[in-house]
């Protein structure tokens, strides 16, 4: 089974974010970066499936030269090889553009299974994997909590709302977006880190893939939310006031 895992590099969670001079994105020059956590769970699931059924795991990542750190981490954890789509200005691509880049690179590999994280920690759109599936003409399922190989393809467990789950059987090839927490992440071993230095990294460009920057959506402005306070006086008897307070906390503040 050949499994392709799309991984993304995002700003570290403890980074101090500042708006850049254009006002349309954050200033990246003084940030530290790390692997997108949902994608790390997708990689872990791919490695576990490989251990169970043999095959190959290929890591796919788009971005500037700095994403080589994320690629090496994936290789050190057990990915067999990697594809780096070199693009210095990835922020200029919208979700559709990024999905086109990934789909074009994935098509040449013809994998049995494509895994992505459910969403990215920086933008959080949760769309890339689904759009990839549409571009490739493949069946897909989202919010995956378990993957089981069966004779007809795979059986997946999807997380729904209010503690409900859905079990779906799917043919291969297919695309899955993996929910965070599906498994326990492994650490790269010293031997894995050494082996990663000798593993293949194929490098491609957007031009070679035939994808240009023609975004369908644009970010007009990025800004910090305004903080404000509003006082509401709840009138009535203690019993009536308590009932109104509970209603506001439940349906307006959504804290209970």
pLDDT at residue 105 above 90? yes
Question: 148-183, pLDDT tens digit by residue?
Answer: 999 999 999 999 988 899 999 999 999 999 999 999
Query: Does 2-209 carry CATH code 3.40.50.620?
Result: yes
pLDDT at residue 45 above 90? yes
User: CA-to-CA distance for 156 and 169, rounded, in angstroms?
Assistant: 6
pLDDT at residue 228 above 90? no
Question: What's phi and psi for 204, nearest 5 deg?
Answer: -130, 165
User: CA-to-CA distance for 62 and 29, rounded, in angstroms?
Assistant: 18
- Using alpha carbons only, give the angle 57, 60, 66 rounded to the nearest 5 degrees: 125
CB 135 within 8 A of CB 107: no
What contacts 5, CB < 8 A, 6 or more positions away?
A: 39, 42, 43, 46, 57, 58, 59, 60, 74, 79, 114, 115, 116
CB 99 within 8 A of CB 131: yes
pTM of the shown model: 0.84
Question: 126-150, pLDDT tens digit by residue?
Answer: 999 999 999 999 999 999 999 999 9
User: CA-to-CA distance for 230 and 34, rounded, in angstroms?
Assistant: 38
Domain spans of the chain?
Answer: 2-209
């Amino acid at each position: 089974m050949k499994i392709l895992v799309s991984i993304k590099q995002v700003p570290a969670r403890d980074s101090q974010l500042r708006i850049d001079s254009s006002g349309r994105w954050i200033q990246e020059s003084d940030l530290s970066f790390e692997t997108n956590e949902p994608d790390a769970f997708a990689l872990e699931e791919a490695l576990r499936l490989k251990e169970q059924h043999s095959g190959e795991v290929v890591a796919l990542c788009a971005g500037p030269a700095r994403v080589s750190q994320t690629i090496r981490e994936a290789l050190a954890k057990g990915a067999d090889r990697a594809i780096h789509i070199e693009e210095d200005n990835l922020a200029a691509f919208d979700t559709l553009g990024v999905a086109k880049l990934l789909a074009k690179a994935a098509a040449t590999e013809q994998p049995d299974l494509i895994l992505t994280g459910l969403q990215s920690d920086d933008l959080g759109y949760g769309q890339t994997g689904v759009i990839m599936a549409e571009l490739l003409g493949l069946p897909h399922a989202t919010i995956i909590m378990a993957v089981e190989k069966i004779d007809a393809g795979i059986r997946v467990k999807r997380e729904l709302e209010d503690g409900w789950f859905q079990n779906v059987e799917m043919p291969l090839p297919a695309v899955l977006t993996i929910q965070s927490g599906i498994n326990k992440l492994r650490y790269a071993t010293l031997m894995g880190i050494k082996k990663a230095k000798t593993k293949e990294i194929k490098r491609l460009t957007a031009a070679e893939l035939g994808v240009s920057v023609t975004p369908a959506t644009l970010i007009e402005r990025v800004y910090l939310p305004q903080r404000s306070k509003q006082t509401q006086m709840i009138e009535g008897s203690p019993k009536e006031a308590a009932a109104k307070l509970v209603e506001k906390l439940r349906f307006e503040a959504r804290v209970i």
